[in-house]
Amino acid sequence: STAKEKMKEIQNDELMTIEQLEKELGLSRNLQAKLRMEKHRGIPNFLPHYKVCKKIFYKRGEIAQWFGKFKVA
């Protein structure tokens, strides 16, 4: 997809900051960093994120999908 399409997609879904994710799901900053880095280690369940000018953002819908992967029962 083009950069324009990506920006529309991002704008259509509410963005979250590191602080918001920590407050809403209880994932500490350190744990978030570790889960993001799993992408570079080839682990498929890394925490989906966007990096803009050194600032990390999460899309609420993508976090909900990611969180659903860990359902136990």
Residue 73 has what pLDDT? 78
- Six token digits for residue 54: 């050194």
Rounded to two decimals, the pTM is: 0.72
Of 6 and 17, the structure prediction assigns the larger pLDDT to: 17
CA dihedral 53, 59, 65, 68 (to 10 degrees): 90
β-sheet bridge partners, residue 55: 52
By C-alpha distance, which of 64, 72, 56, 54 is closest to 18? 56
Residue 11 confidence class, pLDDT cut points 50, 70, 90: low
The C-alpha atoms of residue 1 and residue 60 are separated, in whole angstroms, by 20
Quick check: 63 and 16 in contact, CB under 8 A?
yes
The mean predicted confidence, pLDDT, of the chain is 85
